[in-house]
Chain A
Amino acid sequence: AQSVSQHNHHVILSEAASLELGCNYSYGGTVNLFWYVQYPGQHLQLLLKYFSGDPLVKGIKGFEAEFIKSKFSFNLRKPSVQWSDTAEYFCAARGNEKLTFGTGTRLTIIP
């Protein structure tokens, strides 16, 4: 069965700090990988996605993620976070027709 693990449940950073959120997936076949963000009171929005090709993908708002097949990982990074990045971040994998989500990481940025 497909599964996604996010190891960081709550991350607290100061503005301008660098960010890396971990994501590992378990799936035997070809998989598409996504990061979604949910700002307080808002709906899920797509940050970035990986289908194939260059394993380093860039998304909106300065986020990027690297697909490492050998480690079954798709970690999210941002070199310098802003207060407005405070949100819940979800990693998701799609191996068939549905998305499987991780439990999410709550990111709190301190001004």
Chain B
Amino acid sequence: DTGVSQDPRHKITKRGQNVTFRCDPISEHNRLYWYRQTLGQGPEFLTYFQNEAQLEKSRLLSDRFSAERPKGSFSTLEIQRTEQGDSAMYLCASSSSGHSGNTIYFGEGSWLTVV
């Protein structure tokens, strides 16, 4: 399968713990996005990378959140000192650049439950 893959698919953690999600984009895609989706809502943009550069961060991305894409391939999203309000699905997506109309493809998401 050559789609966007995310790991883990589900994570249950205690409040205050740190969690990290990994995303492997489609191999030829140089853009990588992180979104968050809560029940009954559409996905909300968090941040995106072009290659290894983080080009935009949403105000939703508090200082407890950090995303990296060190070699321009896979990316990690870490949440420190988790809170119950962080419970959501974290979606990763990727696309190629060069043409503004390129489609963004989504992974299956990583469900986070903070108890």
Judge if A12 is at the interface, Cβ distance under 8 Å: no
Q: How many residues of B contact A (CB 8 A)?
A: 23
Partner of B55, one of A32, A46, A49, A97: A97
Please judge, given known A-B contacts A101-B43, A103-B40, whether A49 and B103 are in contact too, CB under 8 Å: yes
Least Cβ–Cβ distance between B104 and chain A, in angstroms:
6
- Whether A97 and B106, one on each chain, are in contact in the complex, defined by CB atoms closer than 8 angstroms, is no
Least Cβ–Cβ distance between B22 and chain A, in angstroms:
16
- Whether B45 and A43, one on each chain, are in contact in the complex, defined by CB atoms closer than 8 angstroms, is no
Contact with B along A42-60 (1 / 0, CB 8 A): 1111100101100000000
- Whether A98 and B100, one on each chain, are in contact in the complex, defined by CB atoms closer than 8 angstroms, is no
Q: How far is the CA of A104 from the CA of B31 in the complex (A)?
A: 25
Partner of A104, one of B41, B48, B109: B41
